[in-house]
Amino acid sequence: MSKVSLEGQVAVVTGAARGVGELLARKLSARGAEVALVGLEQDALKQVSERLHSDSDHWYADVTDHQAMARVAEEVKERFGKVDIVVANAGVATGGPFVDSDPEAWRRVIEVNLIGSAVTARAFLPVLMQSRGYLLQIASLAAITPAPMMTAYCASKSGVEAYAHSLRAEVGYKGVRVGVGYLSWTDTDMVRGADQDEVMRELRQRLPWPSNKTYPLGPAVDRIVAGIERRSSHVYGQWWLRGMQGVRGYLPGLIGTVGQREMRRFGSRLEGMRSGLVGAGGAADEEARATHRS
């Protein structure tokens, strides 16, 4: 598909306070898009909004909250007059052995990454149908290949990939295009947070090339922007991810064999691993939920 100019388009980005979401908001704004930022870190969202080149605003909301996201969708439409692009980017992660994992943190990864993406789409699809717009669901290499110590994250990203493919077939005839964005390990707070655990860091470094590297954020987000401009069905943050699609059927068996060997190697070091949400985004999510409970 030919490029669509982003000048004057209205884009909504969830998880926009940091990482992929923040830089994506900045790059969309630099191309003339008006941007609505959604997330849990109100002060950070305000600071991001104030630095953008174009008209922008920010909303504090938990993407898993149906009522809150419906309200955000209404207010964004009222504020900007339309919505052309929605990027469901909000996400959290946890790592470690499943059998010892924190059940609440494990569930929260599914809730934010999968349920939150569906809540986001449910809230914004009516306005996207009006504009014949584009919904980009951010998935991951974790949707293409399973990985030990990442059960919740892999399950959530496999889920959003399948969900977005299903949704594409439902809403395409109404003029809404749906894309799935894939990212490998990219230099964000989430990945840096995961790397703070020595075992997780070493396991990742032992992955086969090119999946054992951490990739710079800028080029990955540039590829996402290019995908948005083309309303692409598949967007790859790193060049080699496209090739993974052709071999993904073989990966569970391969990972099952190699993964067992690696887990045996690290077996004595797995006890006592932290299994909460990782990175600054995970901390913000935990803080927001604690505040809500109190």
Which residues are catalytically annotated?
153
Cα end-to-end distance, the chain, whole Å: 49
**Structure token pair of residue 208:** 């086969």
Instruction: Give Rg (Cα) of the chain.
Output: 19
How far is 174 from 172, CA to CA, in rounded Å? 5
- The answer to whether the Cα torsion of 177, 183, 187, 190 is positive or negative is positive
Helices of type H across 132-216: 141-144, 151-171, 189-195, 198-205
DSSP reduced 3-state for 140: coil
Length reported for the chain: 294
The helix/strand/coil state of 244 is helix
Cross-sheet strand order for the sheet of 234-236: 56-60, 34-39, 10-14, 85-88, 134-138, 177-182, 234-236
Asked whether the beta carbons of 153 and 105 are under 8 A apart, the reply is no
